[in-house]
Structure formats: structure tokens, C-alpha cells
Structure 1
Amino acid sequence: MKVRKLRTAILVVLTLAWVSGAGLLYAAETQDPTEPKAGGVISIPDRMEAEEQAVTRTVEGDAWYDRLQFSGVVEVEAAHQKVEYDDPEQENTKENDVDLATVELAVDARIIDHVDGHVLFKYEDDEVFVDEGFITLSGTEAFPGYLIAGRHYIPFGYFDSHFVSDPTTLVLGETCEGSVVAGYRIGDDLVDISVGAFNGRVNKAGDDDTVDSFVAAVVAQPISFLTLGASFTSNLTSSDALSEVVVDADEDEEVDPIADRVGGWSAFVTLEIMERFKLIGEYLAAFDSFNAGEIYDVEDTKERKPSAWNIEFGAVVVDSLELAVRYGGSDDGGADFLPETQYGAVANWGFFDNTNLAFEYLHDEYEDDAMEADTFTAQLAVEF
């Protein structure tokens, strides 16, 4: 049944892409493409592009202040959410709020040619912390290799999105860890291959606290409007969100023991037409199953093999107005960790340079119809 629903959704999205493309073809040919919107999901390609721009920028002088570059984003959100439970003993809830959602300040320093430093300070959930801090060693045109060492988002998953809210694939797989990643680009970024090692925050019982987790990824752009790739991690359990739902975890310990580490894999494809229409598809899953009671709930009697998918189609209608739809979901996502079905729409209006106003609606349905949620979000974001 779930496979049938997924196939139907893919057909709907592809049909919408074709119909919208035919209807807006003339507009796309006569208008300039818009700049990327401020705010929203920060995907792996967004992070890679920002790092590339920082590494390749021109330094105007030898003074220390000539070698520094500052950038950042401020996001303010207003949200309303209604949650309904299938269990009559649980009371339905309504919540709404307006608050500062995120502040990011990035500092990039050119040390010498081919050596750069990066630090990203972040405010989120009433906390200020260092989200990223790493050193990049970049190669030459003759040898376009690179090495990234420090705390950063490992190259697992792709997580491209038009939306303010994270796709289910990102929730399941995004991993920010201290790591060393080496990569090599072939044919002027035609293919990017990377491998790395990190010490995951979750290890199996009896293991020492060592660097014994690995990641590998390949991204290819065979033609200008098509990007596809795949990635692997030997320790999916250490992703930022999944590690938080490992049960019986001792908060005083850095390592949360489970019977065995579970790896994961991801595959994605993005299709862009005339820089106006974009179709995104990604699937991310665990290689093996967790034992019953290891994640979500200690009293859970089912083995769990979580997976997630996300499909989006976006179109720039006029100038700075982008409309997009999403269909996503998960298997073995638990009663409240990942929605079994997710769909919604978003409108992004870049009414000034580096300024975006987004209106988003998402509907989430969780496992066994235990819970449904409708969320409306308005986000004002500026990028500098």
C-alpha cells in the first residue's frame, strides 16, 4: 500500500512538473532567474557552495582584516500547529508562537593560498554554540583535491529543499560531527568523490570510544540541469536526530550503547529546467534493523529499520516568487519521530535582495494513525 502511494505521488509530481513547465514556458524565457532565497533548509549542496565561494574568493591585501569574510542569516518565524491524537485519552492541542528562530554568523579566514579556516556560530532553541569549525586544504587546478578537518556536516545525504521545514530525509540522516573528509573533483566538478572518518556519538556495547565510523559519497552532474548521487555511512545511529531517540541512554555518558551499529545509505536526483523549475527526489534508509526497544521506546516489540523519502517540485512563477509542493514520508519512523506521510506547499517571496518571506503549510500523519499534525509557518529571513 505504501509503495503504491509513493508511486502515485511520483506520477502526480511529474505530471505537475510537465503541466507547469508547459504553462510557464514563455514566462521562463522572458525573465531573469531569481537569486537563491534566504532562509529555509540549509542543504549539503548549499553548504558546499558556501565553502567553495569562501575558499576561492580573492584576497585584496595582506592585513588580517583583508583575510576575513563574515556572512550570516537571521530568521524570524510565526507558527501555528494543531495536533490531533487517535487515542481519546490524549487531549488534542493547538499552539502558536512568534520568535527568533535562528541566527547564524560565519567567519571564513584565508590563511594562505589553499589553506582556509571556517567557524559558524549559531543561535537556536535559546542556545548559542559553535555549529561548525574546520580547516580546508584545497588543491590546484591540476590536482583538484581537498581535505576538510574539524567539526562539520559529513557528506551523507543531500537534503535539497524549497521549504522552511526540514524534509524527513534530513531529520533521519543529517550528521554534524568532528571528522576528516578527503575529496577529489573530476572534470571541472563533473564528478565529486569524497570519503571520511568520524567518531560517532553512538557506539555498540563494548566498543571503545574511537574513530571507527566512515562515510563516502559521490555526486555527479553529467549535464548542466541534472545532478545525482549516492552516499553511505557506517553509523546512521549517530545522526543528530536519531541519536536522540536511542533508548536507555545515560545522559552522563558520551557513548550510548546498542547491540550493533547500524549503517545507512542515500540516493538523490535533482532536475532543473531553465533555472525556473526544479524537481527533487531523495531516499535515505538504514541498512539493517535495530533490535526491538533500542530506539523510540524501550517497550517497543518491533525491530525497526527506518527509512525516509522526499519529493518536491518548485517553480518560479514571476520574478522573485517561487511556489513548491512536497510529498514525503517514512517507514518505521515511530509514533512521533518521523511522519509516515507528509505533504504540503510553500511560497517564497524574495521581495528585496537577500530577503525572503515564506509561507508554508505541512500536514503530517504518523504511524498507525496515532497522531496527525497541521502546521502553518511564516518565516522572514535576511542573509548577509
Structure 2
Amino acid sequence: MMQKTLLASLIAAALATPLQTVQAVEVSDQLEVFGTIEVEYGNNKIKAADGTTTTEKGSSLATGAFGSIIKPNDKFDITTSFLYEEDLNAVATPLELDEAFVTWHAMPAEKLDITAGKKYLSFGKYDTSMVSDPLTLELGETNRKEVLQASTKNGNLSATGYLFNGEAEKTDGTGKHKSGFGLGVGYETENLSGGIDYVSNITESGGFGDVSNASKKVPGVSIYGSTKLGNVTLMGEHLMATKAFQAGDLASADEDGDGAPDSVLDAAAKPAATHLEAVFDLQNDRTIAIGWDKTKQAAQLGLDKTAYGVAYRQPLYKDLTGAIELRQSKGYDDAKTRALTAQVAYEF
């Protein structure tokens, strides 16, 4: 009964939200539009290491995204998208231009595509059927303003290479690390997929936030795979820095005004994250997912040390879906969080 009440409340909230009135528009062969609206209700119980307990609860517009693909002809695409995100009690991402790039289909059937502009780097897979993002995404997802990418596909095999203009700072204050590159290969069939991605500087990731600084570039690698066994899909990903950040790297801002960073690495660290998940197909587009996450040496990034949970998802009406998730996480400071999240999502 509690689940039905939560989902019913969220549906009402979603339909009352102005953004929810955005509808898919019939367009010509030269234009496509797409979007996602995610409204969530959360109830989080946080127990600090000293035993103090606090509760956070409320609703939020977790994700508001809208974009378009303009196709002047069969050789070029122009893609733009905007993104807005909220956490439970604050705006996580103000409305901003998320991606804006041009793709040249140099050869047919995806044999060679050239893309240039602002976009997410092809680093990491981040697949999940949970409501919460996997910790691999929190560590590795990277969006850069100036990217030049070439991708190719031949049967079940695909490969990607790209260059980008970096924004991560050097710890000595002499500027940015500037240019970077990445490579990736993948294999995919109906029941099996896998791949490996490499990026020359993982410090460019959004997961490093306000501490995206290091004395030297630190490469990153993501290894991922999934397999479908009957009604069960198993998936996993391991993402890590291949070299260690050194003491003095990942310095935070000087907010207390004492002339020194508020926090900084005091020993070498190689951040890493692992995500494992099993998804059970209950038929009629209903699923139950069980997820487990773990990070290593990522305390300076503010990531959880461990997390596990279960999520149920089902259609509600046409393009409207509902989900509910129970998740428990533990931080590097030994604080524990038990979270109940109910979500209504609309996609077009």
C-alpha cells in the first residue's frame, strides 16, 4: 500500500509540473526531438559515525532533459540537448547546454562517423536498471566542450577514438593539462556484450568536481560486460585510475581563508569503482534489479565506499514508468545512509 501511495503522489506531482506538459512533436525526416522528465520522492535516514541520526525527505525534479537532432541530409546530424538536475534538497545541475555536436557520416552503416563539439566522452558504460546512478558513473562520466571523435562499427565489433581539450588544473598553478585522448573497443550480440575504454586523464571526469587538479595526468580504464541468461541479465563494470595521484593532488578550495586548501591528498591514491547488477525480467516490461557498488581510495572525491540495493520498475501509462528503490550506503567516514526513493519517469 505504501508503494502505491508513493507512486500515486508522484504521478500527481509529475502531471502538475509544467515541464511534464512537453510532448513529443511530429516532425519531418529532418528533425527529431527527445526528452526525459524524472520526478522523485526520497526518504533518507543518515546515521553518523558517532551514532547521531538525521532524516532527509522530500520530492525533486531529479532530471529534466530536452534535445533535438537536425538532419539536413543523410550525411550530417546536428545534436543539441539541455539538462537540469535536482538532488533532494538542492539544485545539482542548473539548466545548461549539455551537448552540442555535429556528426558527419563519412561512410554508410556506421562504418565511419566523425563527431565534433561538446559531448560526453566515450569512456565507461554505466548501464543500470536501478534508480540511483552506479558509482562507476560518479567516478568516470566526463563531458567536455571541445571533442573530436571518430567511431566505426563492423558487425558485432565497434571502436572509438577521440581527442579533447582538457580543463583539469595542474597543482602547481601553472595552468591546465589541456589536450587529452581516449580509445575504446566493444563487442555486442543479442545476449552478450563487453568492452574496454581508456582515457588519458581521468581527472577530467565530473566525479572530481572541485578537486580536479593533479601534478601529472592520471589515465583511467573501464572494463565492462553483460550477459543474458534466460530472464536474468548480469552486468558489471570496473573503472579505475591506472596510476596513483600523489600527495598534494586533488586539493579543494580555500573556503576558510587560511591561505591553504581545506583538504588535500596526504598519501598516494588510485581511485577505483566497481558496479555489479542482476536484472530479473518479470515480463510485460516489469523488472527487479539488485545492485552492488564499491569504491577504493576515493574518500577525497566524496564518493560512497559501499552501496547495495534493490529496485522494482514497471510501466504506468504509455511512456510513463514508475520505480521504487531501497538502497543502503556507507561513506569513508563510516556514516550510513538508508534511502527509499520512488520515481516517475516520462520519456519521449
Q: Classify the TM-score, shorter chain.
A: 0.7 to 0.9
The amino acid that maps onto 1:271 is T
Q: Which position in structure 2 is the counterpart of 1:137? A: 104
Separation (CA, whole Å) in 2 of partners of 1:286 and 1:210? 16
Distance 1:142 1:199, change over 3 A: closer
Match of 2:318 in 1: 353
Match of 1:287 among 227, 231, 242: 242
Judged with a 3 Å threshold, the aligned counterparts in structure 2 of structure 1 residues 65 and 142 are, in CA distance, closer, same or farther, namely: closer
Tell me which of 35, 39, 52 is aligned to 1:72. Answer: 35
- Alpha-carbon offset, residue 330 of structure 1: 0.6
Cα distance in structure 2, aligned partners of 1:348 and 1:142? 34
Farther off after superposition, 322-331 or 79-88: 79-88
Tell me the residue number matched to 1:173. Answer: 140
Q: Distance in 2 between matches of 1:209 and 1:364?
A: 34
Q: CA deviation at 1:277?
A: 2.2
8 Å contact from structure 2 (residues 177, 217) kept in 1: no
In the alignment of these two chains, the number of paired residues is: 305
Higher helix share: 1
Given that 2:168 and 2:177 are in contact with CA atoms closer than 8 Å, whether structure 1 keeps it comes out as no
Superposed CA deviations along residues 189-223 of structure 1, whole A, max 9, x for unmatched, are: x11111101112204347665751111111112x4
For residue 83 of structure 1, report the CA deviation from its aligned partner: 1.3
TM-superposed deviation, 1:366: 1.9
State the partner residue of 1:44. none
Give SS of 2:206's match.
coil
Aligned to 1:253: none
Q: What pairs up with 1:315-330 in 2 under 5 angstroms?
A: 315-330=280-295
Are the aligned partners of 1:279 and 1:312 in contact in 2 as well (CA < 8 Å)? yes
Query: Hey, what's the Cα distance between the residues in 1 that align with 2:340 and 2:308?
Result: 12
Q: Which residue is equivalent to 2:158?
A: 192
Q: CA deviation at 1:365?
A: 1.3
RMSD between superposed Cα atoms in Å = 2.2
Instruction: Give the Cα separation in 2 of the matches to 1:374 and 1:349.
Output: 23
Q: Is the 8 A contact 1:341 1:364 kept in 2?
A: yes
Partner residue, 1:182: 150
Question: In the TM superposition, what is the alpha-carbon distance from 1:241 to its structure 2 partner?
Answer: 1.8
Q: Is the 8 A contact 1:203 1:260 kept in 2?
A: no
Partner Cα separation in structure 2 for residue 154 and residue 74 of structure 1: 23
In the other structure, the counterpart of 1:216 is 183
- Superposition deviation, residue 313 in structure 1: 0.3
Per the normalisation by structure 2, the TM-score is 0.82
Q: Among 334, 339, 342, which residue is 1:375 paired with?
A: 339
- Seq. identity, %: 28
Structure-2 residue corresponding to 1:51? none
Q: Conserved in 1, the CA contact under 8 Å of 2:167 and 2:178? A: no
TM-score if structure 1 supplies the norm length?
A: 0.74
What is the letter of the counterpart of residue 237 of structure 1? T
State the match for 2:44 in structure 1.
Answer: 81
CA contact (8 A) 1:197 1:211 kept: no
Change (3 A) 1:87 1:293: farther
Does the C-alpha gap of structure 1 residues 206 and 292 become closer, same or farther in structure 2, counting only changes over 3 Å?
closer
C-alpha contact 1:229 1:268 (8 A) present in aligned 2: yes
SS of 2:343's equivalent in the other structure is strand
User: What's 2:303 paired with?
Assistant: 338
C-alpha distance after superposition, 1:125-174 (max 9, x if no partner): 34211111110111334771001111111110110001111101000000
Task: Note if contact 2:276-2:291 (Cα within 8 Å) is conserved in structure 1.
Answer: yes
Letter of the 1:104 counterpart? A
Deviations 1:69-124 (A, max 9, x none): 11111111000111111146xx4321001122211111110012210000001122
* Aligned twin of 1:241: 207
Query: Would the alpha carbon gap of residues 195 and 109 (structure 1) be closer, same or farther in structure 2, given more than 3 Å must change?
Result: same
Residue identity opposite 2:115 in structure 1: I
Aligned with residue 154 of structure 1, among 107, 121, 125: 121
Distance of 1:372 and 1:135 partners within structure 2: 44
Letter in 2 for 1:115: F
Q: Does 1:104 align with 2:65?
A: yes
- Counterpart AA for 2:42: A
**What is residue 310 of structure 1 aligned with on the other side?**
275
Q: Say if 2:307 and 2:329, in contact at 8 Å, map to a contact too.
A: yes
State the 1:370 CA deviation: 2.2
Q: Is the 8 A contact 1:157 1:267 kept in 2?
A: yes
CA distance in 2, matches of 1:363, 1:216: 34
The answer for the alignment partner of 1:30 in structure 2 is none
- Which residue of structure 1 aligns with residue 327 of structure 2? 362
Q: CA deviation at 1:298?
A: 2.5
1-structure distance, mates of 2:58, 2:28: 40
